[in-house]
Structure 1
Amino acid sequence: MPITTQPMDQGRSELEQAFAMFTEASRQLTDSYAELQAQAQQLTEELAVANGELKRQYAEKAGLSERLVALLQALPAGVVELDVSRQVVALNAAAVRILGEQVIGQDWSVVLSERFESFESPGEWRLAGRPDCVLTLVENSLAASGGFIVLLHDVSEPYHMRQQLAKQQRLVEMGQMSAALAHQLRTPLSTAMLYSANLTREGLADADRQRFAGKALERMRVLEHLIQDMLRFVKGAAVAGLAPIAVNEVLDEVEQVIAPQAAMAGVVCEIGHLAADVMVSCDKQALSGALLNMLDNAIRACSPGQQVMLRPSLDHHVRICIEDNGCGMPETVRQRLFEPFFTTRGDGTGLGLAIVKQVIDAHDGHITVESRPGLGTSFVIELPLVDSVAIVNRNQARPIDQSN
């Protein structure tokens, strides 16, 4: 029986095909492994680079943080860190010196109430138990953490320097005022002494005696007026207290007093009124006196037949304009109008307009002046409208001693 080799050849062929497939699969696996090794090596190198960059950035940030901490500790201003609930969580060295470490963990509002005292300078605080220590507080929010940073700046030295400078300035002003007052008193006093000396002459006729006595009395009245103005100026224009007063009521009183004076001088004087019954917070006597003083000056600046007008108007405040078409004044005079003892009149004290400005300032008002030689002068006063709550608070907070 003949032997057939076909099945054996077919089996060998299938085995060879299987081996070839296995060989191809092995090659592919080897290639894939090599590729994975290459990718792993690349990733390792990239990771090393990234890790090195991170280390560099970390080192930079660590150095920056160290420098910031050193800078924070070296700052002369106190730095207080608050958390979201406004509790103290950290202090720098300056803040520790000011507040002490025991405030850490305390509520900031409690620290404020116990450690700080407000006083006359706005925005500045005294440290409790240390009246010579003056601080300013500035608070900033931290958007990222929701906390807050409070800066405590010690302004004790600038504050005391300002106080010393103000004291020196007051001494200078007092010296200038004393010199000006002595100059103002000398002339009428010398004249009064001269007339009084004439009264002792033997054989002086009664008519001459009465004339000299009248002249001396007139000079004495000038002295009295000067001293009264001086006292009013020193006392701050004697604003006794603010109360709601109708503007037209003040203007009526001013009109009654100034009309005869204007008529005697031959000057046309018109006092306007507001259409509405508007109220201002004022000391009626002081405000009327200030307006009368200005109107009297305006009349003196006019010749017979010229005109003086007071015109009130209303906007967000009361505006009172006093203008004349008299002689006017040069710019050099206008700039010094409100200086104490500055006057262009031989019989003036130089305190009238200084007192007027004090009165307007005491009423939280504002006064300006414009003038042109030969064309006249215009004063503008602006006064706030009445605020009864502010009046009560102000009168309680600023009592004025009138015992003198």
Structure 2
Amino acid sequence: MSTWYTLNACLSVLMILVFAFLNLFAKKRKRLHVRLGFLGIFISFGIITNMLISTGVVAPLFLIRASMYFWGWFAALVYLSFLIDITSARRSKYFYFSYAIPFALAILTAGIDVFWFHIVLLAGGTVTVGFFSIYFTLAWIRAATDNRARRDGEWMLMVFIAFGLGTIVSYTHQMTEVFWLLSIWYLVLHIAVHHLGITEHLSSPENIAIIDNVFDIVVILDHAGKIVRLNSRGFTLTGCSASRMYGNGLELLVSHPELSAGTRTDWLARYSWFDTGVGQSRSPSIDAWVMCDSGEEIPVDLRVLALADSSRRVSGYVVSATDMRITRQLMKEISDREYAARDLALSESKFSRLFYYNPVGILIVRVDTLEVAESNPAAEEIFEVESKTLKLKKLSGLGLELKNMTLEEFIKKMEEEGSVPELDATIHLDMQHVKVCRLSAVSIELNRALNIIVSISDVTRQEQLREALDRKQKVETIGILAGGIAHDFNNILAVILGHIGLAKLRIKDPHSRVPIEKAEAACLRAREMTGNLLSFSRGGKPVLGVCTIKPILVDFAMQAVSQSSTACLFDISRDVWAVRADQTQLGQVVSNLVGNASQAMDKAGIVEIRARNRDFSGMGVHRRPAGISGKVLPPGRYVEICIKDYGPGIPDKIRKQIFDPFFTTKQKGSGLGLSIVYSVIENHEGIIDIESSIGEGTSFILYLPAAVDALESENSGESGLKTASRRVLLMDDDQAVREAASGLLETLGFSVVEADDGYAAVVRYRDALVNGHVFDFCLLDQIVPNGMSGSECAKEILTLDPEAVLFLCSGYSDDPIFSEYREAGFRALIKKPYTLEELKSTLGNHLVS
């Protein structure tokens, strides 16, 4: 390394450091000076590390090289920060994170010793610095507040381009030239900031064009209170020339007891208003006079506003003077009109009361602009916005969508006919919230202008109730058909399953049993379908009991996702109450909802299942939840169950249809799942609600009545059948069902006596008592067309023998006896169709020695 190189580098560093410390220790130091000072220090460090590399210093070359690149990159970043301050550009809130970039770039540049890589990073950095320098400077020029400031910005832009190009060219020749160019450029920045005052601005031509067109007299003063600009209104009223005004103090134009050439500065400081963002939002009023060239003094209302530069130092003043002669004349006219206004106010008061206290929403819309001029409180409640927000909004911007008519057709009809009769419409408040309303309109002249009075009634609640009623009627209609079919079909399945059970016992060969087992599985699937149908019908009335909620949620949810990759996340309160429900139907609800949630996430995701206690006792109707049907929960204690998925969500247009029977969006769906859920929850005197967001998922929320009292103790009995039980009385009106059931019971070791109706069963039981051959238990069918039912038969038998053991059996559950079978004297309820194993298990659990 040559001595000349070292000398140039040292002189450059010395020059930059001198001016850097002058900025850091300036008397009136600002943030701008601090950034400029550190910029010089970082440039100096970069030059010094470059010298160390050139001298071949003993320290690790990697560290020296990384240090040089670090100071270079950091200096570029501080220079951009300095430009943001000097041009008053808006700094991003994430800008300070960029200070971490030099560390990464320095290590990356020093660690990868590849020539082309260094060239790419250097070129990229140069382009970035050049681009933002030109960008901020051009923004400064465009935002300059007067011609002098604009010329300063243009001059700085030309100087930067000249020095920038010089630095790039010098880098390809000798580094000493780069050092000197950086030093001189830094000196130019120092002089521009400290001695040229390029950051101080006064008024702009755009502002002058505005104030020339205002009615008041407007005077612009410099920081010393001398006139630099007077608007056209000022010249017109005073008759003075610009040569006489400009350069002289404010006292030449304004007369005030405390204003003179000697007190001008103190007077401006005392009476001027500086906008600090707090306190009053307008400058105080001063009573003064404007002196005309003719000698006339015009009384004015004077206001003085102080202007500040980017450092919040006063750089000038704006003085506005309102001619009070016109104001006094206006005050007289106002006084005269007040008397006329009183009479008008009396008539308007009637309209105002009708307008503001009307329960129907009313909008007054201007015909020419279609903007809302006025709205009553009812309209604000319908649109869920304040009056000031609703005003001046266009009719098309209210989210109003007319049914069977476009907005253009609506306006055209108003122009042609002057009114529009009641029609249906919807109001889209946001993506999730839509209101249904009825709308009518009439044109009227108000304040000598044609307006439209639009009346809007919110009928969302009525529509929800109507839809709920329609949905309920659909379910009931299908239920009537489904119940009858399911009952007959269950009897047929009972016969098939009974004989299949007998065949399985008689065939020992495993290969021969395979077709029979497949037939049994098909019958069980058919039984599940009839169960779905019964959920619609009156025959789906739940057999209520006190159920612990946790095992139902866990067991049926895990069963629903067992054939998928979906995971269940449970959040069940430890003290969650029991519910009074049909465990089978409630499990079907959980299984359907969890299964749908899994399918919504393509059978891969997390289904959240939560349960907690909710006490709505003593709460008002508006504080209790309302379900999808609009029915509000009665006061009381409930268990809230929430099943949430993270699927695509349910669109608004089909949300009200998902509970309709046979409605489905799946290619292979039956459309019964959610209809069953709705029907079961309604039969349990609960409600169901839904929350869904497109792209975020869906939550189904169930509320079921809690059974706060202690759980009913279920007599589990013993696990096996007792050998002492031999004689059985079987009553069923269907001969095929009797034959199948007899075969199953005989296979289990019982001696079966059959009866085709309740009368025959009572006679056989009475005969058995007389002869001493008491039946060990009776299996009674509930529904017997044209005969005595099972519950009537049980009453007669219990009269004969209070210790009789009775079981109720049916494939239909329309009778209240099915939910109160214990009170009727039955030990258990056996639902048809049943398998041999199910019959054996039920009898074994309830027969005791």
Q: Please, what TM-score do these two structures have when normalized by structure 1?
A: 0.40
Larger relative contact order, structure 1 or 2 (CA cutoff 8 Å, min sep 6)? 1
Q: Greater helix share, 1 or 2? A: 1
Q: Please, what TM-score do these two structures have when normalized by structure 2?
A: 0.20
